[in-house]
Chain A
């Protein structure tokens, strides 16, 4: 269950590359397998440190100062502006947890990988899809002028630092879920009767799928 998201104000960090995969956002190599002392849970400080680890640190663990996430002016950013097909590859939800732990609540890109997008909504992060040229413009604005972006989810609008508003599309089901911080599981548990009926019907109609076998 995620914290509701209705409005958001903050600066934006641009990382303008296409096809950034979740191995890059949340590297499998060093952190999850090696570092985590507590099984299944990493503290938010560790999660934030591990975000884009291979692009933020040298092999020896030194900060690469030119990488946007390391630049002083982007510290505290709430928006990430990035390239097409963001979050492709592995289904690892830690990619979203790490972005959230670092402070990102809204990602703006020309397109998103589907599993990543679903993981965003499950954690109260908003993926905003905008046209390629517009994304580039926003990235320019974020890096040249800086300043705060403002999100108003009720209005489906994003105010740029220059003051101009952009309207974006978001599925209504997802918008409601984000604004209310809906708990999908609690919702679905209300439909248990329908689920049981589905299984009962299935056992008759497709016994080879729904019979209780001796496995």
Chain B
């Protein structure tokens, strides 16, 4: 190291890292909004909705991995259980779609609280294994429970009327609904990352022992981010069930947990926008060549 003693000067003064939202991020958000607002007029809307659902799933997952430093291998549990609850609420109870998504997200949040409070006691590979074990439990419950339809899943889920008024049976109407939910979710994730809470989270990721010695109760922060991540993964799953009018075992299968890891890693896990790219690439590849992606056959309704 040339920079060895305390007397040397830095090579160059760096630009400050501002607290305010950088213009580049605003531009990317604007670009994404514009793209997804115009795209359904040129591309198949159901494909785009699938992309958006998985974009939200991947970003929710990456909030935990990239910013909480926690690799969960059980996020299918939140995605899938929310998908089942949302489908059940729409089909059996006939609830309007916004309530279905809320109930699905709420279920994922509760499940996240239970699984998270047990899993955060372990670190690294053990954390991943504990989350996988719980996700497998959710999988087997989904296989056996009467309301999930076992191997058949819950099929022909009605889309119902938004707020009991707006008919979502046309793909374009549903597209607007999904668009609003997914971007609200993405804005929330962005805000969490760039909040005072997010700063502490980054500190814990960088050096947990030091964060403890500064007086932070790291387990509470980890649990909080775990629940936020699980909830938004649930939002993605619940929305997906309405888009494909289907909730099935594939949503809770471990391959789904693996896929979301892949999406986050492909896009870049310490980046805000990377998982969006990762999710888009993987969903597109699966659509072009479905045989090469056995994990996501659920989504080819």
Q: Are A and B co-members of a single complex? A: no
